[in-house]
Structure 1
Amino acid sequence: MGFGQGLSGLNASSQNLDVIGNNIANSGTVGFKSGSATFADVYASSRVGLGVQVASINQRFTTGIVSTSGNQFDMAIDGAKGLFVVTQPNGATLYTRNGQFLADKDHKIVNAQGQQLMGYAPGGTNLIGMTVPVGNIAPQATDTITNKVNLDANAKVVPATPVPETLATVVLTNGGVDTTYYYRPATNQWYSDTAGTMVDTPLDNTYTTGSPAVTVTITGGVPDTTIPSTGTNVAYAAAVAAVPFDPTNANSYSNMVPLTVYDSLGNSHRIEQYYTKREPVGTNSVWEVNYAVGGVVDPANKAELQFDSAGRLASTTPNPPAINFTPGGATSPANPVSIKVVYDGSTQFGGSFSQDFVQNGYGTGEYASMSIGSNGELIANYTNGAKQTMGTLALADFANLQGLQPVGGNAWAETANSGQPIVGTPGSNGLATIKGQAVEESNVDMSQELVNMIIAQRTYQANAQTIKTQDQILQTLITMR
């Protein structure tokens, strides 16, 4: 019987060394989970045991170190709960922690074993195979421009309507007699009425005028001092000519900002926003905004912004403004474009002009790369700067991870002992999140495994010694006479 116990010990120690050796061999395997052998004694209605047996080989599903790889398709499960769901070419479903993926010739996202990564389509609930997009992304026509602008409160007003000349009204007092005249200072011309009837006789004399009164001497129609515009006198105002908006006349606007928008075919169009400060309305400052599309100004595309005395946007007319145009060309007849223009949060402060804007359209673009969000979203990046969510990968968890069956290739299969998988998206239902362009390294502790190997070796040697001792005892028994 002694041989049996020793032999079982040798077998158990040998299997333990196999487990330790497998751990050490896979210390560099991405997603590998180290194993450990558990033992149980053997009895058969006897007070003396029959030896030892290997009860099970358990794997430690602790999280390995997450390290950056730089590969756009690599991904690491950043947490203990969750396994990638992959499908073999024959349709069988497996589970793995190895996040080293690539795109095959059919644009499927697969691992080195050819197993396809599974997930959900945007808004979907059924598992499908994840793929890399092909072809160009469809363009998106611009329908909104969001502006946040500061208009200089000290900008010069550009008159929208003409203002006629106002002659100065001057009351000259001489000998207690007040006489009203109308005067153009630039030319020293005097008139008897606002119709422009010039005074026939010279006004050469000394007068008092204004309030408080000052003395003024007029010689040849030229006063010797500045005539005050106080009292009954009224100051002269020169004529002001209206300056209608004209994109070719820089004096007809205060600031201009160009931007690019897109039609339904992805063709780009240049829009210029022209800001012109106009006469105030009450206590509000008024800015006129004109839009030129491809250098062409449509009077229907115009807005008015009013700001209160605190510099806040008080009103927008129309609300909201819109830019409407029809892209021309028989070769590319795009849909008519209607763009809502938003100025929320714009101001008129006493500072320099500044503008930030965002338009939501883009032209077509080619697929450039893939990125993975922490929530498992697979985001395709295109050459035009657009992004598109292609799907969300799935993670699975099991009630009994030890019940999974290792099948090689860094994968496990579901068994009756493991229970059915609980499948969801990363970050939901307690599942771990995802780190893109990274991998989870093996959780093998090399120093611990080397110590375990020494202990297993000593155990093997001790069991071999029991067999040797039993052999010596048996030999002694045989040689007895």
Structure 2
Amino acid sequence: MNSALYIGATGMKGLSQGMQVTTNNLANVSTIGYKQQSILFSDLIYTGQAGMGEWWNNQEDSRVALGQTGKGVQVDTVRTIFTQGAMESSNTVTDMAINGKGFFQVTDGVSLYYTRAGDFRPDNEGVWRTPTGLALNGYKYNEDGSLGGLQEVRIDKFGVMPGKGTARVDLTMNLNSGQDNAVSEDNPYFSLLNLYDATASRPLSSGSYNYSQGMTLYDADGNAHTVTAYFDGAPGGASDSMIEFLIAAGASAAGKTDADGNALEPSPGDGLLMSGVLQFDASGRLTGMSAFTPAAAGSKDLADWQPAELNGGLPQLTLDGATMAVNFGISAAGGWRNAPASAADVGTDQARLPSMGTDAVRAEGASTLYNSSAPRGAYAQDGYGEGILSTVAVKTDGTVVGRYSNGQDQNLWQIPVCRFVSEDGLRREGGNLFAATAEAGQMDMGVAGTENYGSVNAYNIEVSNVDMATEMVNMIITQRGFQSNSKVVTTADQMLQKAMELKRG
């Protein structure tokens, strides 16, 4: 009977701890990132009881039916159930949920912790922090696109992206007509250059060319300039057609000042950047080109215009310190052929224009001279001006992308996901935090969405994975078990009292 008292007591103690686990789960049913706990029990040691059975020697060395009685119950372990919690959407990009395995790493500046609760907010210095003030760790992108060391994620709300000069401009044209409007008897392939006058209200009159393409290009400091490409017919051969082109910057690039900052009077050649000829076959396909650039800025003297430098087979011009390649869809794989010393050496002889040779590479979508299609033009360039940070986005791989007022995106941070050999070995620290222990094993940090790392979902938080219906059932079972064990204690006490009454009688 004494054993029954103690066994009932162990049942009451164990089940009270079970009720503690259940109530803790129910209390955290709305806690973001909370992981449900479950309690497991094991029976206590057993003692053999004489007279409970007999020794059967039906077979040599075979003995069975030895009676044993238990000593009650004990708590074996309290486990954490790391199943995925549901996603709840939010309107804040810094609310992030991990879909799959892994944790965010946060720090108080001294110790490292791990959490599934991704409700981060930037503080007054731009550091992304938990509600309790711990900073999120991540890798910052360097200017060259590489990743730096692990540090606190910090984003300047008013961050500035420096401007970038145009390095390449791609022109896709259908020039439609080879009509020659600008005529020069001595230099027919540089007629537009001869007519150009930056001091006039319009550097070229509308009747002096067939088509023009306006562009916005950026100098070395990221300043925007309006640049125009003009096109007009030029003398061709029996089996080909020639189109003269001239590229010139507008007044924003042409303006000059002296050493004291005083504006200088413009000259006729201000803003001239490149002049050349496009060559088309009888079917209207681009087969070659030539290009010249001025050695002296603002010069209209053809002796100062030399064959353009090539980069990757494309001719280059310079706009206020930014050197950019001009691509009409064809490149000189082997450099210029038969290039003259200057444009002044060309005269009226088409053969004296520099050639791209027979190994010129024509790209798909190159410029054309199809009379059956209306004239059209389009361009693309890779420069941009200075921009202010407008918004932030977080990709599923944890990349934090800044979007700027200049229309450009820039990778700012990489938020890693951490995983452990044994999640069950993590120690709960409260505040939605876990701490690494030796029992958790090695911690690996990787890119979200790769291998066995969960993906990062912005504008979401992971809610508790507690199943309220299950917990209510567990609570009822635990309560009934506790009630039954308490009844055992009171019944065993009554039996002892009865036995003592027999002795007194």
How much does 1:406 deviate? 0.5
Instruction: Specify which structure has the higher proportion of helix.
Output: 2
1:381 and 2:410 correspond: no
Alignment TM-score, normalising by the size of structure 2: 0.71
1: CA distance, partners of 2:490 / 2:237: 112
1:469 and 2:425 correspond: no
What percentage of aligned pairs have identical amino acids? Answer: 30
How much does 1:160 deviate? 5.1
Residue of structure 2 in register with 1:137 after alignment: 161
Residue of structure 1 in register with 2:361 after alignment: none
1: CA distance, partners of 2:175 / 2:467: 66
- Does the 8 Å contact 1:150/1:352 carry over to 2? no
Secondary structure of the 1:266 match is: coil
- Does the 8 Å contact 2:173/2:366 carry over to 1? yes
Residue of structure 2 in register with 1:18 after alignment: 20
1:302 and 2:321 correspond: no
Residue of structure 1 in register with 2:328 after alignment: 343
**Pick from 211, 218, 226: which aligns with 1:270?**
226
**Pick from 110, 113, 123: which aligns with 1:104?**
123
How much does 1:150 deviate? 3.6
Secondary structure of the 2:314 match is: coil
**Pick from 272, 289, 302: which aligns with 1:316?**
289
- Does the 8 Å contact 2:182/2:208 carry over to 1? no
2: CA distance, partners of 1:478 / 1:100: 64
Residue-by-residue CA offset, 1:305-363 (whole Å, 9 max, x unaligned): 3333454432232352333233xxxxxxxxx2222122232332432333333222222
2: CA distance, partners of 1:356 / 1:74: 41
How much does 1:159 deviate? 4.5
Alignment TM-score, normalising by the size of structure 1: 0.75
**Pick from 78, 88, 91: which aligns with 1:67?**
88
Where structure 2 has 5 or more consecutive residues not aligned to the other structure, the ranges are: 49-67, 186-190, 197-202, 255-268, 292-312, 330-364
Q: 1:279 to 1:44 in 2, by over 3 A?
A: same
How much does 1:441 deviate? 2.0
1:430 and 2:403 correspond: no
2: CA distance, partners of 1:72 / 1:42: 52
Residue of structure 2 in register with 1:85 after alignment: 105
1: CA distance, partners of 2:282 / 2:7: 99
Residue of structure 2 in register with 1:371 after alignment: 393
Secondary structure of the 1:48 match is: strand
Residue of structure 2 in register with 1:186 after alignment: none
1: CA distance, partners of 2:478 / 2:241: 89
Residue-by-residue CA offset, 1:213-235 (whole Å, 9 max, x unaligned): xxxxxxxxxxxxxxxxxxxxxxx
- Does the 8 Å contact 1:311/1:347 carry over to 2? no
Larger Rg: 1
Where structure 1 has 5 or more consecutive residues not aligned to the other structure, the ranges are: 164-241, 327-335
Which range moved further: 392-401 or 436-445? 436-445
2: CA distance, partners of 1:366 / 1:36: 50
1:443 and 2:416 correspond: no
Residue of structure 2 in register with 1:113 after alignment: 132
- Number of positions where the alignment pairs a residue of Structure 1 with one of Structure 2: 390
Secondary structure of the 2:471 match is: helix
How much does 1:152 deviate? 4.5
1: CA distance, partners of 2:274 / 2:393: 41
Residue of structure 2 in register with 1:94 after alignment: 113
Residue of structure 1 in register with 2:61 after alignment: none
Q: 1:317 to 1:26 in 2, by over 3 A?
A: farther
How much does 1:381 deviate? 1.9
Q: 1:465 to 1:316 in 2, by over 3 A?
A: farther
1:399 and 2:421 correspond: yes
Residue-by-residue CA offset, 1:11-46 (whole Å, 9 max, x unaligned): 222222222222222222221111111111111545
- Does the 8 Å contact 2:249/2:273 carry over to 1? no
1: CA distance, partners of 2:150 / 2:243: 56
Residue-by-residue CA offset, 1:446-478 (whole Å, 9 max, x unaligned): 222222222222222222222232233223223
How much does 1:97 deviate? 0.9
2: CA distance, partners of 1:473 / 1:130: 68
2: CA distance, partners of 1:28 / 1:65: 11
Secondary structure of the 2:439 match is: coil
Q: 1:54 to 1:310 in 2, by over 3 A?
A: farther
- Does the 8 Å contact 1:160/1:279 carry over to 2? no
AA in 2 matched with 1:76 = A
- Does the 8 Å contact 1:136/1:365 carry over to 2? yes
- Does the 8 Å contact 1:72/1:369 carry over to 2? no
Which range moved further: 408-417 or 374-383? 374-383
2: CA distance, partners of 1:38 / 1:387: 52
Q: 1:321 to 1:18 in 2, by over 3 A?
A: same
Q: 1:19 to 1:351 in 2, by over 3 A?
A: farther
2: CA distance, partners of 1:369 / 1:417: 41
Q: 1:356 to 1:456 in 2, by over 3 A?
A: farther
How much does 1:161 deviate? 4.1
AA in 1 matched with 2:327 = V
2: CA distance, partners of 1:311 / 1:63: 62
Residue of structure 2 in register with 1:249 after alignment: 205
Which range moved further: 419-428 or 316-325? 316-325
Secondary structure of the 2:79 match is: strand
How much does 1:156 deviate? 5.4
Residue-by-residue CA offset, 1:397-423 (whole Å, 9 max, x unaligned): 111100000001111001111012111
